[in-house]
């Protein structure tokens, strides 16, 4: 590798890096992707919903032969209390129409497939190779050192796509250490079950899938959990902001086990066999915690740039889009042969015009809102669960008296002024 010069080095074979590499290779750009795992995808984890739309202009007729699990037609939200949940559902036959909106995927399989598409387009994918440091000459990034002997690689431009921990972005001073409030640890299990059992339990046909997003008083308002259907398995996980894990002295695996044992969850996975246990950080700090995105000869994409829209569980689509926009920026910059920060600022402009920055900006207040207003997901779900039970449980008390009691409880637990304030905050930050 030593004497080879590439046009672009992409660090990290995840959705952002592989999207960039595919677009670049298709345009005839000489691009190399460096991946530290044994194969592309082997280190990569998400809950597992991948939205299709972002693949437009990258992979023709996606999903085609991509290894996807089930397309999602039924999305559920649960506000979980200790013995119960109050839920919202949206199941729609329109989600059964192609092109499918989203699928569950396994990233080890999906990213490996994506890397093959990039390679077929002409990108060189080098695995088992750790990108160590940026090579800087005249205040410009001109390459990457790797852990291999004679492993320096030179290029006009480096695209940093090394994921949430992005030691590279940190070493370049693009950001400080991630704050504990800005990142959530998610742990997940893949639980094997017969396809037919999954179809029956979730009320779908083969190929059709369900997602359940869970939060609420069961977790003291401080965790988000999910249950996703795959072809022959369930992906089940729970995530909590690191600050809350530390403060509450919580062990993530204990948290996961308590979720699995909940009376509303246990029957869904009953008889299943755990196939894999995974842990990964989710960069949830949002717009306000994003690092610098560009420098001379460098662009940062995907999780490394904290591009996650946590309340809509979107991340990989933001990653793919940012990778594509970085590639397009390189192609433009190459016309003038100018890879300076000023020239690459086109990447920031493209991001601002896309849904990526628009969404991140729109929900910029959400991480702090949830971190500093715990009662939103603590007390309200409990009140809702109690209210549902009281209204539905017939015990000789009149509905009028029940409503009076519920309102009295609401006033005692939250207070009218707090209720108004909370609704206003929600409307300001989420509406």
Partner 1 sequence: MRLEDKLYLDGYKIDEIGGSHLVIKDMSVCLDCELQQCLYVCPCGVYDFDAKRGEIEVNYDACLECGTCRIACQYNNIEWRYPRGGFGVSYKFG
- Applying CB under 8 A, the residues found at the interface with partner 1 are 36-39, 41-46, 106-111, 127-130, 146-148, 164-165, 167, 177-180, 183, 185, 187, 189-190, 233, 242, 245-246, 249-253, 257, 274-281
- HSE (CB half, 13 Å, CA atoms) of 145? 8
Q: Whole-number minimum distance, CB 2 to partner 1, in Å?
A: 16
Q: Whole-number minimum distance, CB 343 to partner 1, in Å?
A: 31
Identity of the residue, 125 or 190, whose beta carbon is nearer to partner 1 in the bound complex: 190
Q: Whole-number minimum distance, CB 117 to partner 1, in Å?
A: 17
Identity of the residue, 83 or 253, whose beta carbon is nearer to partner 1 in the bound complex: 253
Residues whose CB is less than 8 angstroms from the CB of residue 426 and which lie 6 or more positions away in sequence, other chains included: 369, 376
Identity of the residue, 236 or 357, whose beta carbon is nearer to partner 1 in the bound complex: 236
Q: Whole-number minimum distance, CB 310 to partner 1, in Å?
A: 17
Dihedral angle of Cα 185, 189, 195, 197, to the nearest 10 degrees = -100
CB 367 within 8 A of CB 284: yes
Dihedral angle of Cα 320, 322, 327, 328, to the nearest 10 degrees = 110
Q: Whole-number minimum distance, CB 262 to partner 1, in Å?
A: 15
Q: Whole-number minimum distance, CB 95 to partner 1, in Å?
A: 24
Question: Which of 277, 22, 47, 323 is CA-nearest to residue 162?
Answer: 323
Identity of the residue, 148 or 362, whose beta carbon is nearer to partner 1 in the bound complex: 148
Residues whose CB is less than 8 angstroms from the CB of residue 18 and which lie 6 or more positions away in sequence, other chains included: 10, 33, 40, 111, 114, 115, 117, 118, 323
CA angle at residue 48 from 43 to 54, to 5 degrees?
95
Q: Whole-number minimum distance, CB 274 to partner 1, in Å?
A: 6
Identity of the residue, 177 or 401, whose beta carbon is nearer to partner 1 in the bound complex: 177
Residue 181 DSSP class:
G
Residue 233, strand partner residues: 192
| H or E, element range at 360 | helix 355-362
Identity of the residue, 237 or 381, whose beta carbon is nearer to partner 1 in the bound complex: 237
Identity of the residue, 249 or 400, whose beta carbon is nearer to partner 1 in the bound complex: 249
Q: Whole-number minimum distance, CB 130 to partner 1, in Å?
A: 4
Identity of the residue, 276 or 348, whose beta carbon is nearer to partner 1 in the bound complex: 276
Question: Which of 230, 11, 18, 28 is CA-nearest to residue 113?
Answer: 18
What are the b/e assignments for 375-398, b being 16+ CB within 10 Å?
bbbbbbbbbbbbbbebeeeeeeee
């Amino acid at each position: 590798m030593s004497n080879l010069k590439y046009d672009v080095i992409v660090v990290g074979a995840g959705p952002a890096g592989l999207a960039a590499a595919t677009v670049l290779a298709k345009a005839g750009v000489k691009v190399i992707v460096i991946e530290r795992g044994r194969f592309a995808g082997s280190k990569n984890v998400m809950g597992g919903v991948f939205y299709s739309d972002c693949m437009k202009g990258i992979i023709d007729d996606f999903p085609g032969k991509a290894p996807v699990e089930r397309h999602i037609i039924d999305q559920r939200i649960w506000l979980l209390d200790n013995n119960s949940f109050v839920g919202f559902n949206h199941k729609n036959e329109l989600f059964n129409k192609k092109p499918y909106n989203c699928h569950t995927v396994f990233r080890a399989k999906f990213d490996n497939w994506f890397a093959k598409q990039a390679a077929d387009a002409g990108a060189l994918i080098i695995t088992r190779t750790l990108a160590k440091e940026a090579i800087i000459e005249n205040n410009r990034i001109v390459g990457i050192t790797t852990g291999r002997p004679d492993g320096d690689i030179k290029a006009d431009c480096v695209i940093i796509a090394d994921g949430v921990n992005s030691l590279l972005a940190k070493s370049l001073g693009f950001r400080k250490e991630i704050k504990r409030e800005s990142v959530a640890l998610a742990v997940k299990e893949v639980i094997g079950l017969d396809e037919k059992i999954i179809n029956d339990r979730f009320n779908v046909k083969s190929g059709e899938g369900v997602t359940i997003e869970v939060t609420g008083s069961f977790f003291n308002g401080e965790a988000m959990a999910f249950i996703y259907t795959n072809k022959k398995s369930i992906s089940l996980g729970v995530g909590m902001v690191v600050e809350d894990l530390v403060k509450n002295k919580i062990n993530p695996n204990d948290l996961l086990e308590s979720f699995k044992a909940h009376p509303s969850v246990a029957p869904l996975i009953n008889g299943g066999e755990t196939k894999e246990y995974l842990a990964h950080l989710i960069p949830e700090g949002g717009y306000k915690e994003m690092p610098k995105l560009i420098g001379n000869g460098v662009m940062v994409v995907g999780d490394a740039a904290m591009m996650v829209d946590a309340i809509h569980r979107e991340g990989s689509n933001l990653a793919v889009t940012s990778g594509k926009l970085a590639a397009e920026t390189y192609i433009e910059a190459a016309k003038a042969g100018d890879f300076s920060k000023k020239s690459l600022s086109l990447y920031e402009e493209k991001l601002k015009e896309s849904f990526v920055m628009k969404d991140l900006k729109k929900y910029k207040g959400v991480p702090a809102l949830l971190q500093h207003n715990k009662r939103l997901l603590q007390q309200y779900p409990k009140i809702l669960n109690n209210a549902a039970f009281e209204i539905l449980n017939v015990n000789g008390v009149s509905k009028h008296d029940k409503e009076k009691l519920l309102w009295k409880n609401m006033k005692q637990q939250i207070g009218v002024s707090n209720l108004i304030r909370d609704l206003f905050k929600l409307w300001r930050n989420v509406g």
